[in-house]
Amino acid sequence: MTAWIVRGGLHGEREPWALDHSFAGGGFHEVPDLAAHTNREAIASLVGSSFPADSHPGRLANYTGQMLALRTSIVPGDVVVMPMKTRKRIAIGICVSGYQYRADEPDPTRRHTIGVNWANVDVSRGALKDDLLNTVNGAMTIFRATKNNAEARLRAVMETGVDPGSAVLAAGPISHPNGSVGAEQAVQVADVTDPTSAPTLQAIRDRVRTHLIENFGGHKLTHLIADILRTEGYTCDVSPEGPDFGVDIIAGRGPLGLDSPTLIVEVKSEAGQIGAPVVRGLQGAMASNKADQGLLVAWGGLNKQVQTAIRTDRLTIRVWDSEEVLDHLFAAYERLPDASRSLIPLKKAWVLDEDSDA
């Protein structure tokens, strides 16, 4: 078995449809049904006739490789990964049926499909280590991911929500009953295997995210959150490292931090999703300290049950996952203390906001 990245559109427009209907694929609406075409030459001819005569040969070859992979190479049992733009999360599932052209689908961008059982649709990008994120950020719509034992690690993330990283590498590749990609298939998909990561805005965010993981683990992240809150007008009292009983930061407005709204902050830097006990601890700390509001910084996000339960507290509790932390960091960066900025050396640059074509 192997792992495949299959994106849901340039702007994520196919992502909700893919999750709701257990599909992956779509795109390449210019190309008709591939069902009768099973080799590179036939698909290349079909792709070539579907685009203008002056289309760049390299682009047509790239499209051919991706369409060939969707038509013949992605098979039941393979891991399928959809990095999402609409939610800044990653969906991971298992292919359950091969290529199907859905001719009756009114939207032509939803016709080239494979069937997927989406097992985990709420994986935080912060759950993936830097090398695996670089692999997932490859600059194609459809491609095979093999670097750094990607298949075994992505399967583990699907099942546990956490990237085991070097632990899997040290143990060697995980064997699966259906075997692995054969030599002939590997040659067929060589041009769509582990493409270079593109310097997109998301890839740059991921690099900053990794820097924070590496340099602001544990209580260091608490101090960074306090610095961000101070730029927003709060006076912050940071608890010493160690047991904090649900209180990492006590914050409030005014010079003494006693003016409303007063705020209790709990910071969890773990890559995995947070469960109900942490939320109950924050709620208890808010009550015992008579705080107006609570902020839960959960780097890996919340599990589904907690996401549902915490909606009843949405007027008093906010949750920042890694994406929210990055948003607030970028907004506050120029007002952060010099000491914090020296640990996160960022500079402004113009970046082309461009992604894959299909």
Domains of the chain listed by start with CATH number: 3-198 (no CATH), 212-343 (3.40.1350.10)
Which alpha helices (DSSP H) does the chain contain, by range? 15-21, 40-50, 57-68, 130-136, 150-160, 166-171, 183-188, 201-215, 219-231, 276-288, 304-309, 322-332, 338-343
Residue with tokens 């809150």: 229
pLDDT recorded at residue 88: 87
Coil, strand, or helix at residue 149? helix
Residues of the chain with pLDDT under 70: 166-187, 244-246, 351-358
Pairing of β 293-298 and β 317-320: parallel
pLDDT recorded at residue 1: 78
Distance CA 266, CA 249 (A): 7
- For residue 311, give both structure tokens: 């909606």
Torsion, Cα of 18, 202, 5, 135 (10° steps): -160
Partners of 297 in beta bridges:
267, 320
User: pTM for this structure?
Assistant: 0.82
pLDDT recorded at residue 353: 62
